[in-house]
């Protein structure tokens, strides 16, 4: 039997239902770092501080902590208090003393098929040079630096350079646009912005520098702009403010001391969407975040020196921060970074990359899988994907059809899928399989070591098996965000007040009889569109910024590939007519202010919106109506 027909036969045998368990193969078990999940889980549950202290010992500290966990000022927990540390020392400096300095850190492929590889030693040199550049621009410990770039190696270089000198990076995803960027620059008070002249995505050029210029008009606090040349196209230039990356790097020294930080010093802030129109910046620290991301990567992806690991997310989101930049480098891994779109120029682009570089671990979002699944299995079949040994999924629930396709046609029915549930707020994986965990398609399985998760009802009582409730976390963990930058009250309010003493995730979930967790989705006004996190309120405020719009409501409706699609309802100001042209103009307007990912699928003009007596838009009513479903309890509806 040929490999192909064997695969087909296996595919036919697999019928997915929620009770079927997929046990790991003997080969997977044989090489797994953690073979007995239960024993270590029990140990971590009984002795969480000892468990995390032992993990922290695997990293290098300038000075040891005095206390593993300080919970004297809840919910502002502190980890490894008094420890002297820098994550960059662990991501780069310590590899300079071993053979790993000559190991490849990143293999990069541009959408135009250009290629680069960079060793740990070369990466370290570039980071040192850019750290010196930042210093020469006046950046000091604690200062925020906004990074708005495409997927180039210089993005991690800029992040690491900030962390090396103790500056706090704030990466804004390159798919965001003027208003989103301006708001984040202002909120973080960044005087330095690092960007690119442009980026190649899906065969087009994203004019990053143009967007940055427009954003700075709204956020004139920016004094210096560093521009990395990627496209070479003509761009606007402000003398004195703008500097080419390559000009500044030319004279920068490749030697730079890594700043000795306190474990609890801020490493980065990252903006994410919540239920209000104002995005919030979650703050992560050097010590706890490092220990947590390092450990989760080691145990879940079982990363080994001979691996070639590819996380296909964008470095500008938390997945990229944790699992493209920091955790892989701390683990001394070789990672792939691909610049462009998954189906460019053909729907086998991802599979050709897996084959070309012999990728062993592939980590991506269900939306990516669903998008490529549409083109059919003949595309992955064109390529030898036998190097793969583990797969990963993140960002939204993976539906059984996509799971099955990924498992069979990408993983050759031999690679377990690590369906990792976590959030910007959690820093790293929270509910996740390990390679040895028997899998159920669509379930993220069990809490990671030391994580106490519970699904509860409105009153905070655990729900019986199989019943839906709210996902909460009962005990602190080292990778948790420490606060919302500049707004500690909002941090307490959003995450710690609904169930006092517990972290509220904003997700609904259920736990089955075997203790497996099934994530259902958000219970707040947060949407996942193509795995990206957006707030309905942000889309609404983008619409209202158009002169024709008096009021707007945005909802998410199920979408086959993107998970959610944004539908909007608009009340026009007097004197405007709801023509198809205006609807299209409004769609484009949202794309322009927020970014193309937020562009609504549909703009519908209405005379009224369903509201509560206190004036809150009842999005669930709009949602039910749009889907032709029962509208539920309408007692709070005003009319
Ligand atoms: C959702 C992404 C189901 C969830 C790392 C969460 C998931 C939100 C999964 C956080 C998963 C993430 N299964 N849902 N494996 N992973 N989510 O902050 O709703 O961009 O609350 O972090 O994504 O999104 P964020």
pLDDT in tens, 107-164: 999 999 999 999 999 999 999 999 999 999 999 999 999 999 999 999 999 999 999 9
Asked whether the beta carbons of 545 and 580 are under 8 A apart, the reply is no
**Which tokens belong to 179?**
């208003």
Residue 550 has pLDDT above 60, yes or no: yes
pLDDT confidence of residue 1: 36
User: Which residue's alpha carbon is nearest to atom 22 within ligand 1?
Assistant: 423
Q: What is the pLDDT of residues 252-308, one digit of tens each?
A: 999 999 999 999 999 999 999 888 778 899 999 999 999 999 999 999 999 999 999
Neighbouring residues of 148: CB distance < 8 A, sequence distance ≥ 6: 171, 172, 174, 176, 181, 193, 194, 195, 208, 211, 212
Q: Whose Cα sits closest to atom 12 in ligand 1? A: 395
Average pLDDT over residues 414-433: 98
Per-residue tokens: 388 = 């793969």
Find the mean pLDDT for residues 582-595: 95
Please state, for a pLDDT cut of 70, what percent of the chain lies above it.
Answer: 96
Q: Which residue's CA is minimally distant from atom 14 of ligand 1?
A: 396
Residue 243 Cα to ligand 1 midpoint, Å, equals 37
**Would the pLDDT of 314 be above 50?**
yes
Closest-lying ligand 1 atom to the alpha carbon of residue 432: 15
Which residue from 423, 429, 453, 516 has its CB within 8 A of the most atoms of ligand 1, so it is best to mutate? 423
Tell which atom from ligand 1 comes closest to the C-alpha of 533. 20
Give residue-wise pLDDT tens across range 531-542.
899 999 899 989
The residue whose CA has the least distance to atom 5 of ligand 1 is 423
Residue 19 banded pLDDT, cuts 50, 70, 90: low
Q: How many whole angstroms from 422 Cα to the centroid of ligand 1?
A: 5
**pLDDT higher than threshold 80 for residue 13:** no
Confidence label for 65 from pLDDT (cuts 50, 70 and 90): very high
pLDDT at 388 over 70: yes
Q: How far is the CA of 577 from the centre of ligand 1 (A)?
A: 39
Span 328-339, average pLDDT: 98
Residue 632 has pLDDT above 80, yes or no: no
Residue 138: CB atoms within 10 A of its CB come to: 11
The burial class, CB within 10 Å (0-12 / 13-18 / 19+), for 470 is: buried
Question: Any long-range contacts for 35-42 (C-beta under 8 Å, 24+ apart)?
Answer: 35/436, 36/436, 37/434, 37/436, 37/437, 37/446, 40/449, 41/446, 41/449
CA distance 223 to 47: 49
At residue 340 the predicted structure's pLDDT band, cuts being 50, 70 and 90, is very high
Q: What is the residue with the minimal CA distance to atom 25 of ligand 1? A: 423
**Ligand 1 centroid – CA 464 distance (Å):** 23
Q: Which atom of ligand 1 is nearest to the CA of 528?
A: 23
CA pair distance 450, 596, nearest whole angstrom: 39
The pLDDT assigned to 615 comes to: 80
pLDDT of residue 417: 98
Which protein residue has the closest C-alpha to ligand 1 atom 8? 423
Q: Which residue's entry shows tokens 């080994």?
A: 304
Residue 120 CA, ligand 1 centroid: distance in Å: 31
Is it the case that residue 631 has pLDDT exceeding 50?
A: yes
Nearest-atom number in ligand 1 for the CA of 526 is: 19
* Burial class of residue 87 (count of CB atoms within 10 Å of its CB; 0-12, 13-18, 19+): buried
Question: Is residue 422 pLDDT above 70, yes or no?
Answer: yes
- Choosing from 471, 519, 529 the residue with most ligand 1 atoms within 8 A of its CB, the one to mutate for a pocket test is 519
Angle between helices 178-188 and 580-594 in degrees, nearest 10: 30
Residue 505: what are its φ and ψ, rounded to 5°?
A: -85, -20
Mean pLDDT value across residues 376-401: 96
Please give the pLDDT value at position 613: 81
From ligand 1's centre to the CA of 395, what distance in Å? Answer: 4
Q: Tens of pLDDT along 456-508?
A: 999 999 999 999 999 999 999 999 999 999 999 999 999 999 999 999 999 99
**159-206 pLDDT tens trace:** 999 999 999 999 999 999 999 999 999 999 999 999 999 999 999 999
Q: Determine how many CB atoms are found less than 10 A away from the CB of residue 366.
A: 25
**Helix orientation angle between 208-218 and 178-188, rounded to the nearest 10 degrees:** 50
Q: How far is the CA of 365 from the centre of ligand 1 (A)?
A: 10
Burial class (CB in 10 A: 0-12, 13-18, 19+), 266: buried
**Closest to 69 in 3D by CA, of 283, 264, 296, 268:** 264
CA 272 to ligand 1: nearest atom: 18
Q: 81: how many CB neighbours lie within 10 A of its CB? A: 17
Residues flanking ligand 1, CB < 6 Å: 272, 317-319, 393-397, 419-424, 444, 505-507, 519, 521-522, 528, 533
Distance from the CA of 593 to the center of ligand 1, in angstroms? 25
If you write DSSP's letter for every residue of 495-559 in order, what string do you get? IITTTTTSEEEEEEEEE-TTS-EEEEEESSSEEEETTEEEEHHHHHHHHHTSTTEEEEEEEEEEE
Q: 602 pLDDT exceeds 90? A: yes
Average pLDDT over the chain reads 94
Closest by CA to 258, choosing from 87, 133, 105, 82, is 87
Ligand 1 site-directed mutation target among 318, 326, 395, 403, most atoms within 8 Å of CB: 395
| pLDDT for res 16 | 45
Q: Using 50, 70 and 90 to split pLDDT, how confident is the model at 639?
A: low
Query: How much is the average pLDDT of 93-109?
Result: 98
Residue 18 confidence class, pLDDT cut points 50, 70, 90? low
The torsion angles phi and psi of 411, rounded to 5 degrees, stand at -90, 5
Comparing CA positions, the residue from 339, 322, 377, 326 lying closest to residue 228 is 339
**pLDDT above 70 for 8:** no
């Amino acid at each position: 039997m040929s490999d192909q027909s064997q695969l087909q036969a296996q595919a036919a045998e697999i019928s997915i239902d929620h009770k079927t368990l997929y046990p790991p193969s003997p080969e997977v078990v044989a090489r797994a770092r953690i073979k007995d999940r239960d024993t270590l889980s029990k140990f971590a549950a009984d002795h969480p501080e000892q468990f995390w202290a032992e993990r922290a010992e695997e990293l290098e500290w300038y000075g040891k902590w005095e206390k593993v966990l300080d919970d004297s000022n809840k919910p502002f927990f502190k980890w490894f208090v008094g420890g002297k540390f820098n994550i960059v020392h662990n991501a780069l400096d310590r590899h300079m003393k071993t053979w790993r300095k000559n190991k490849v850190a990143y293999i990069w492929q541009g959408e135009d098929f250009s290629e680069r590889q960079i060793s740990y030693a070369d990466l370290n040199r570039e980071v040192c040079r850019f750290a010196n550049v930042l210093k020469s621009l006046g950046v000091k410990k604690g200062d925020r630096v906004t990074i708005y770039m495409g997927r180039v190696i210089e993005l991690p270089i800029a992040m690491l350079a900030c962390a090396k000198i103790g500056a706090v990076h704030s990466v804004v995803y390159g798919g965001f646009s003027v208003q989103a960027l301006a708001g984040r620059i202002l909120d973080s008070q960044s005087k330095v912005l690092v960007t690119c002249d442009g980026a190649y995505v899906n065969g087009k050029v994203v004019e990053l520098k143009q967007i940055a210029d427009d954003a700075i008009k709204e956020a004139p606090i920016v004094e210096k702009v560093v521009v990395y040349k990627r496209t070479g196209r003509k761009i606007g230039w402000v003398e004195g403010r703008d500097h080419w990356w390559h000009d500044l790097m030319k004279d920068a020294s490749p030697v730079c001391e890594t700043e000795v930080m306190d474990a609890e010093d801020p490493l980065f802030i990252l903006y994410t969407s919540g239920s209000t129109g104002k995005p919030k910046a979650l703050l992560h620290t050097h010590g706890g975040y490092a220990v947590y991301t390092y450990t989760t990567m080691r145990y879940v992806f079982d990363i080994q020196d001979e691996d070639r690991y590819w996380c296909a997310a964008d470095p500008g989101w938390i997945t990229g921060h944790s699992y493209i930049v920091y955790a892989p480098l701390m683990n001394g891994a070789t990672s792939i970074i691909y610049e462009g779109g998954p189906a460019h120029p053909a729907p086998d682009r991802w599979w050709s990359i897996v084959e070309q570089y012999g990728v062993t671990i592939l980590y991506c979002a269900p939306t990516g899988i669903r998008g490529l699944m549409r083109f059919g299995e003949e595309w992955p079949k064109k390529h030898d994907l036998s190097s793969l040994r583990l797969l990963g999924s993140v960002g939204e629930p993976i539906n059984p059809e996509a799971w099955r396709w990924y498992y069979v046609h990408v993983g050759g029915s031999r690679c377990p899928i690590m369906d990792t549930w976590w959030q910007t707020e959690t820093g790293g994986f929270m509910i996740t399989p390990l390679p040895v965990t028997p899998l159920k398609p669509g379930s993220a399985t069990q809490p990671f070591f030391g994580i106490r998760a519970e699904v509860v009802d409105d009153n905070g009582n655990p729900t019986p098996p199989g019943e839906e409730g709210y996902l909460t976390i009962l005990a602190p963990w080292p990778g948790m965000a420490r606060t919302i930058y500049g707004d500690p009250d909002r941090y307490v309010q959003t995450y710690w007040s609904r169930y006092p003493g517990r972290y509220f995730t904003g997700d609904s979930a259920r736990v089955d009889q075997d203790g497996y967790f099934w994530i259902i989705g958000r219970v707040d006004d947060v949407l996942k569109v193509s795995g990206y996190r957006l707030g309905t309120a942000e889309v609404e405020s983008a619409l209202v910024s158009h002169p024709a719009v008096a009021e707007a409501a945005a909802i998410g409706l199920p979408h086959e590939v993107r998970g959610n699609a944004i539908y909007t309802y608009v009340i026009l100001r007097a004197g405007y007519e709801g023509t198809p042209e205006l609807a299209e103009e409004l769609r484009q307007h949202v794309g322009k202010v927020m970014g193309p990912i937020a562009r609504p699928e549909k703009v519908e003009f209405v005379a009224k919106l369903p509201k509560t007596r206190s004036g809150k838009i009842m999005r669930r009513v709009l949602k039910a109506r749009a889907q032709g479903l029962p509208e539920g309890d309408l007692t709070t509806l005003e009319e």
